[in-house]
């Protein structure tokens, strides 16, 4: 876990729209549940690089949750699209210390994360 997120919870501004890019259905389901409890709305769950890029092009979200590895492929093209669109995002990974080259300063959550970590991470990006 990125130390900036601490252990206390946070809520999201009401109606915050979140894009989830995650290839593991259980993790995506859990993240969706956490976001809804925090007051956010999941606009879409994308599970591949192609789906993630299509979702980025629609820009119908305020913030994104982006898994670094999507079924063995780097999500770097999605990170680049998010950055180009000016959309804040939080990286997630199941591999401690793994990053996307060029995006080392983007906040990172190591899976498994808990609701308070996710909430504080997203809230920090929005506020």
Whether pTM > 0.85 for this model: the answer is yes
Has residue 97 got a pLDDT over 90? no
Looking at the structure, give the CATH architecture of the domain made up of residues 8-126: 3-Layer(aba) Sandwich (3.40)
Q: How far is CA 107 from CA 64, 72, 85, in A?
A: 12, 21, 17
Domain boundaries in the chain?
Answer: 8-126
> pLDDT tens-digit profile of 23-74?
999 999 999 999 999 999 999 999 999 999 999 999 999 999 999 999 999 9
Instruction: Output 9 or 93, whichever has higher pLDDT.
Output: 93
pLDDT value for 27: 97
* Nearest residue to 122 via CA among 22, 19, 43: 19
Lowest-confidence region among 3-12, 49-58, 84-93: 3-12
What is the rounded distance in angstroms from the CA atom of residue 47 to the CA atom of residue 67?
A: 9
pLDDT value for 6: 40
């Amino acid at each position: 876990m990125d130390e900036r997120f601490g252990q206390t919870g946070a809520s999201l501004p009401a109606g915050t729209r979140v894009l989830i890019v995650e290839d593991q259905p259980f993790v995506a389901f859990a993240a969706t549940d956490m976001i809804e409890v925090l007051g956010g709305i999941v606009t879409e769950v994308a599970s591949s690089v192609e789906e993630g890029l299509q979702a980025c092009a629609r820009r119908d979200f305020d913030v994104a949750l982006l898994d670094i590895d999507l079924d063995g492929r780097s999500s770097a093209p999605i990170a680049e699209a998010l950055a180009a669109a000016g959309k804040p995002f939080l990286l997630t990974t199941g591999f401690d210390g793994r990053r996307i080259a060029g995006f080392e300063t983007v906040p990172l959550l190591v899976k498994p994360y808990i609701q308070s970590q996710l909430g504080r991470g997203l809230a920090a990006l929005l506020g």
